Amino acid sequence: MTSLNEEIQKNLDIYIKKYNQQYTKCLIREIEIPINGRPEEVVRQIFIHFLLKESTLLSDKIKIKVEANNHDIEIYKKQKNENFKPHQNPLIIVEVKREDVNLQNHYNQIERYLTNSNCNIGILYNFHEIITFIKKDHQFNIYSHESLRNIEELILQATSSIDDDLLAFDNAQNGSFESFMYLINKYGESTNNTIRFKLKHHLSVIEGYLFNINTDKIYYKICGQYARKRQSFDCQDFEKLISIIY
C-alpha cells in the first residue's frame, strides 16, 4: 500500500514559503493551506484530489463544500436546471481524520452529523481506512472499503437516482397545479427559497415565500414587501411555475 507521504508527494502540489512552512492550494476554496502540523488537512486534500482529479466520472455530477456547517466535506448533487436550485441537504458528509486515528472512536460523531443534517450517507476517512454509513429504515448500516474507487461507485449510485422533484418542477413549469402544490409543500413553507410564478391575467411574475395551502387556495408573502396579511390566489388562477431558488 502506498504510504501517506508517497501519496502526498504524488498528488498534492506542495511548496515551501518563508519560515520553511509547507503549503498546498485547496482545489475547492482556491486558497493556500498551510499543512505543517495539520495532518487532518493533508488527508482532506488527498480526498478532494481524488474527487476532482482522479475520478473522471464525478465532476459534472457533484458540488463540494469544505468546512461547511462544521463538517470537513459536504457533497451535494449538482443541480441540472438553473431555475431549480432550492435549499438542499448534503448528499454525503465526509469526516477526515489523521492517519493514526482509530475511526471506530468517531462512529457516534458521524452518525450525529448525519442525523442533524438529515443526510443518509456518511464517510469516515483517515487515508488507510474508509468507513461508510448508509441510513436505511432509521438505522445506520456500516461498511468498510479498501479503495476510494468504491466511494466513486457509491457517489455515482446516489446521484443517478431519478429526481422526482425535478420531474415535478418540469411539470409545474408546464402548468401542472398538482406538481406546483407538491413543490410548495416541500420548498415553499420557509424563508429559505424564493419561488417565482405566474398567475393568469397577471402581467408580472410574482416572487413569493412562506407559502401556505388551505384547500384550493394558496397564501404567500411577497419578497421585498412587509405586510402582515398574506396574498392569496385560487388554484384555477395558477398559470405556471418559473423558478425555485435558494
Q: Which residues contact 169 (CB under 8 A, 6 or more apart)?
A: 81, 83, 84, 179, 183, 241, 244
Give the DSSP per-residue string, 105-162.
GGHHHHHHHHHHTT-SEEEEE-SS-EEEEEEETTEEEEEEES-HHHHHHHHHHHHSS-
Which residues belong to CATH 3.90.1570.30 in the chain?
A: 39-159
Closest CA to 119 of 150, 86, 73: 73
pLDDT in tens, 207-220: 999 999 988 899 99
Average pLDDT over residues 221-230: 86
pLDDT of amino acid 57: 74
Q: Of 122 and 189, which is predicted with more confidence? A: 122
| pLDDT recorded at residue 219 | 96
Rounded CA separation 88/149 (Å): 26
| Strands 217-222 vs 231-234: parallel, antiparallel or unpaired | antiparallel
CATH of 39-159, one of 3.50.50.60, 3.40.30.10, 3.40.640.10, 3.90.1570.30: 3.90.1570.30
Task: Give residue 1's pLDDT band: very low, low, confident or very high (50, 70, 90).
Answer: low
What are the start and end residues of each CATH 2.30.30 domain in the chain?
Answer: 164-245
From CA 195, how far away is CA 243, in angstroms rounded? 6
Provide CB contacts within 8 A for 26, sequence distance 6+.
32, 33, 45, 48, 66
Containing 94, the helix (H) or strand (E) segment is strand 92-96
CATH topology of domain 164-245: SH3 type barrels. (2.30.30)
For the chain, counts of helices (H) and of strands (E):
6, 15
Burial of residue 8, with CB atoms counted within 10 A of its CB: 0-12 exposed, 13-18 middle, 19 or more buried: buried
> What are the φ and ψ backbone dihedral angles of 65, each rounded to 5 degrees?
-120, 145
